[in-house]
Amino acid sequence: MKYSKDVKELITERISVMPSNFKLSIGNYGTFSKEQLLQSIQDEDKVGLEVIRMQLNFINALTSGRFTDALNNE
Partner 1 sequence: MNKLILITRPDFDHTTSYISYYAGLVMKKMDDQGIPYKSFDGKNAVRDEIHKFLLKKDPKFLFLNGHGNKDSIEGTKGNIIFDTTDKDLFKGKMVYARSCLLGQNFGKEIFQHNDGCFIGYVNPFIFFIDDTQSHPSRDKIAGYYLEPSNEIALSIIKGNSAQESHDRGRKAMLKNMKKLLLEENHPAGVVEALWNNFDGQVLFGDGEIRF
Residues that bind partner 1 (CB under 8 A): 14-15, 17-19, 21-31, 33, 50, 54-55, 57-58, 61, 67, 70-71, 74
Cβ 34 to partner 1, closest distance in Å?
A: 9
30 sits in which H/E element: strand 30-33
Question: Which lies closer to partner 1 via its Cβ, residue 4 or residue 72?
Answer: 72
Query: Are 36 and 43 within 8 A, CB to CB?
Result: no
Cβ 36 to partner 1, closest distance in Å?
A: 12
SS3 74: coil
Query: Are 31 and 24 within 8 A, CB to CB?
Result: yes
Cβ 37 to partner 1, closest distance in Å?
A: 9
Q: How many residues does the chain have?
A: 74
